[in-house]
Amino acid sequence: MERFLHRRDALRARFEALRLDALLVVAPTNVAYLTGFSGDSSYLLVGRDRDLIVSDGRFTTQLEQECPGLEAYIRPNVQNMNKAVAHVVGKLGVGGLGFEAAHLSFADWEALKGELAGTALAPTTDLVEPLRAVKDDDEIARIREAVAIAQDAFLKLKGELKAGETEKDAADRLESHMRGLGATGTSFSTIVAVGRRAALPHARPTAETRIGDDDFVLIDWGACGRSYKSDLTRMVVTGNVTPEFEKVYRLVLAAQERAIAAIRPGASAQDVDAEARSFIEQAGFGRFFDHGLGHGIGMDVHEGPRLRRESPTILEPGMVVTVEPGIYLPDWGGVRIEDDVLVTPDGREVLSNLPKGLDAVRP
């Protein structure tokens, strides 16, 4: 539990500079990061010298087990969350209360404002998230586990992939393999996109399109292990390696390798993005790569830092990012290759190691 107290202390130092008496943390992932609590419907009040979680009777025992030593206010059934927060804030004598503006709905803000007439409410952004962007050793170990589960599940699916099964059948089986290998869930809805449908970066698997309807399939998947996630993409050729596929695939792979080589402490996120983007642009495919190069990964599948144009973030040791350039050609299809990369003190480590040379794309 010491690491959660350390995280709250680091957060305290950030909001004290804003001259706030306390911060109301409402995003479930941020609450979990700061306390170890895996439930929901709970807010965390982080004060200058006192922390308290506001929850309800469903989680009394769970809080005792997961958050020993953390003070809890269990609201009665007749008291909604906003009234409970007002009760606690009044009891603690909080004068200036910050809240997570990106996570508290306008309706809840209005209700809370009505309950806290004597308290100054101050919207805050990006107080917890920058802390989450730099992972400690335990977090990195959990991401490694999630990557390993995802890779083993993919290899199992790839070995049994057969023409005639639908995209949805393949996606469902890949998700089942991940759960069978120890995943608590998937990082997101698995993408299996055949041929032309691979030109849709977030294609939803269908029960109509079948493996073998075209020469290749894009698979984007991830496993959630012990609260931490992975995110990978590979191409599988089920027909012929056509000259056009080979050209686009080699280009995307080279762009990815350039970007990965640029990852190191002190590098800017936008410069890493530019390594891949400029290479694709010089090849004449720039307009067909219209998303960011990658994103941070951890408790959420999409978190900071973001690898994209005009991102001023400077990479630090402990950050884990995806690197996923892609080229999407309407009426032909798309190619994306994605790996999870750890920023190390002296460079980078690619946590995922599935083969991705052109000779590895066949099942």
The domain that holds 105 is classified in CATH as: 3.40.350.10
Query: Tokens 């798309």 correspond to what residue?
Result: 334
In this structure, what are the phi and psi dihedrals at residue 301, rounded to the nearest 5 degrees? Answer: -75, -25
Question: Could you say which of 69, 104, 132 is where a domain stops?
Answer: 132
In one letter, which amino acid is 85? Answer: V
Are both 128 and 156 inside the same structural domain? no
Beta strands 96-100; 22-25: pairing state? parallel
Are both 139 and 20 inside the same structural domain? no
Are both 197 and 49 inside the same structural domain? no
Question: Looking at residue 16, what is its pLDDT?
Answer: 85
User: Directed axis angle between helix 137-160 and helix 167-180, to 10°?
Assistant: 130
Are both 204 and 237 inside the same structural domain? yes
Beta strands 191-194; 223-224: pairing state? unpaired
Beta strands 339-344; 347-350: pairing state? antiparallel
Question: Could you say which of 115, 132, 149 is where a domain stops?
Answer: 132
User: 99-114: per-residue pLDDT in tens?
Assistant: 999 999 999 999 999 9
In one letter, which amino acid is 237? Answer: V
Beta strands 22-25; 43-47: pairing state? antiparallel
Question: Looking at residue 288, what is its pLDDT?
Answer: 98
Are both 98 and 150 inside the same structural domain? no
What pTM was estimated for this model as a whole?
0.96
Which residue range is the domain that position 104 belongs to? Answer: 2-132
Are both 168 and 300 inside the same structural domain? yes
Are both 159 and 220 inside the same structural domain? yes
Are both 294 and 347 inside the same structural domain? yes
What is the sign, positive or negative, of the torsion defined by CA atoms of 292, 141, 298, 34? Answer: negative
What are the residue ranges in the chain where pLDDT is below 50? none
Question: Could you say which of 107, 132, 157 is where a domain stops?
Answer: 132
Beta strands 320-323; 303-307: pairing state? unpaired
Structure tokens at 253: 């792979």
Are both 239 and 266 inside the same structural domain? yes
Q: Which whole-number Å values give the CA distances from 197 to 218, 332, 335, in the listed order?
A: 9, 8, 11
Q: How far apart are CA 122 and CA 99, in angstroms?
A: 6
Question: Looking at residue 223, what is its pLDDT?
Answer: 98
The H or E element containing residue 41 is: none
Q: Which whole-number Å values give the CA distances from 166 to 162, 173, 204, 238, in the listed order?
A: 9, 11, 12, 13
Are both 150 and 66 inside the same structural domain? no
Are both 210 and 312 inside the same structural domain? yes
Count of domains forming the chain: 2
347: domain CATH number is 3.90.230.10
Q: Which residues contact 361 (CB under 8 A, 6 or more apart)?
A: 216, 234, 235, 236, 237, 241, 249
Are both 73 and 212 inside the same structural domain? no
Question: Looking at residue 118, what is its pLDDT?
Answer: 85
